[in-house]
Amino acid sequence: MRKVLAVTGIRSEYDILYPILKEFEKQGFEVCVAVCNAHLSDAQNNTYKKIEKDGFRIADKIDCLLSTDRLTQRSKGVGLLIAGLTQTAEREKPDFLLVVGDREESIATCVVGNYMDILTIHLGGGDPVYGNSDDPIRFACSKLAHIHCATADEYAKNLLKIGEDNWRILNSGNPSYVNIANIPQKTREELSGFLNFDIVSKDYITLLKHPLSSEVEESGEQMRLAIQSCTEFAQTHNLQVVGIYPNTDPGSYKIIEEIKKGEELYPNLKFFKTLPREVFINIIRNTLTLAGNSSMGILEAPFYKLPVVNIGNRQKGRLNAGNVEFVDYNKSHIIQALQKACFNQNYRAKIQELKNPYGDETSCKKIVDFIKQIDTQDRRWYVKTKLC
């Protein structure tokens, strides 16, 4: 039986990995998970417990999240993670490492796989994210990883442009669509009861905003403006605002400070540190729009046919299915975009008809079928012969 060791450090990343890991188990692989970063944080509600509840064996818990808002946090964390994951991989002896995206766990896993001669599967390569330190990290992961699962055809072509062999690349689409398709519908009454927040008599918008590495010092002020804009718009139209806490990147402390101030000032605003998958998906199913700068506006919202207001520079450069309106940090511009997203029926109808470039709910089976045919004894998978 071949073994896959997945590495995850944050809730959104695990939601992408979850259906892939289930498919690996379904097709006879042994699966285990190394958890790190925010999964082990009390402030993030120890989300590793959800992974345990989902039935996966946790091979290791690697503490590498430093409690600071300084720029030293991530580079030091990568060093700690590489050291810890090296020990985990030596003990577990997996046939494959599996990781998503462009965060600390991504580059650490790819470094470990490269040095330890373990075939590393990287999901999300070829996807540019301008103005962010994560963009070159993603590129570095693509050069280090052995196997690529791209979420769109355009991104698969980008991998070819940087010299990756075409036989290493699969245009898998977005695996998280399996989660969305398989989660049962919940009523607004059920959701309102869970949240202890009225979203039955009132419609609502959802706010999810993270710091940007190139704009850390402005993260608090940016969040304050986003909250002011969303709550003012909501008050005008008798709406509620459901907010989700940011990731743990530098700048998140400043964002959380503004969240706490905002909840005291605005009765139509309520934030949540984390939500169960079945609740979160149904929140997004029922929201009028998603505001902020989360990658789910780019990657998942097209599957929901959901209009998105992306505030600021985070996510710029990524493939837009046609559901995302980019706006700057200007209150009137944000409110205008929210008005269009929520109440412009022609625009909303157009989004319902969009062609999603990120695939469908067959992605996970495509990935596992692709990995199954790989001969781990064939040395061509381990050796990169192209540099560019």
DSSP string, 308-360: EEEESSTTTTSPP-S-EEEE-S-HHHHHHHHHHHHH-HHHHHHHHT---TT--
Predicted pLDDT of residue 112: 97
Mean pLDDT of the chain: 93
Sign of the Cα pseudo-torsion (157, 158, 160, 165, in order): negative
Predicted pLDDT of residue 73: 76
Predicted pLDDT of residue 388: 59
Same fold, 3-174+359-381 and 186-352: yes
What would the CATH number be for the domain defined by 186-352? Answer: 3.40.50.2000
3-state secondary structure 101-141: CCCHHHHHHHHHHHHHCCEEEEECCCCCCCCCCHHHHHHHH
**117-162, pLDDT tens digit by residue?**
999 999 999 998 766 677 789 999 999 999 999 999 999 999 999 9
Mean per-residue pLDDT, 245-260 = 91
Domain residue spans of the chain: 3-174+359-381, 186-352
**305-317, pLDDT tens digit by residue?**
999 999 999 998 8
Predicted pLDDT of residue 222: 97
Name the residue type at position 194.
F
Predicted pLDDT of residue 216: 86
Q: What percent of the chain has pLDDT over 90?
A: 78
Domain 3-174+359-381 architecture: 3-Layer(aba) Sandwich (3.40)
**pTM here?**
0.89
The alpha carbon of 20 is separated from its chain's Cα centroid by a whole number of angstroms, namely 15
Mean per-residue pLDDT, 357-381 = 96
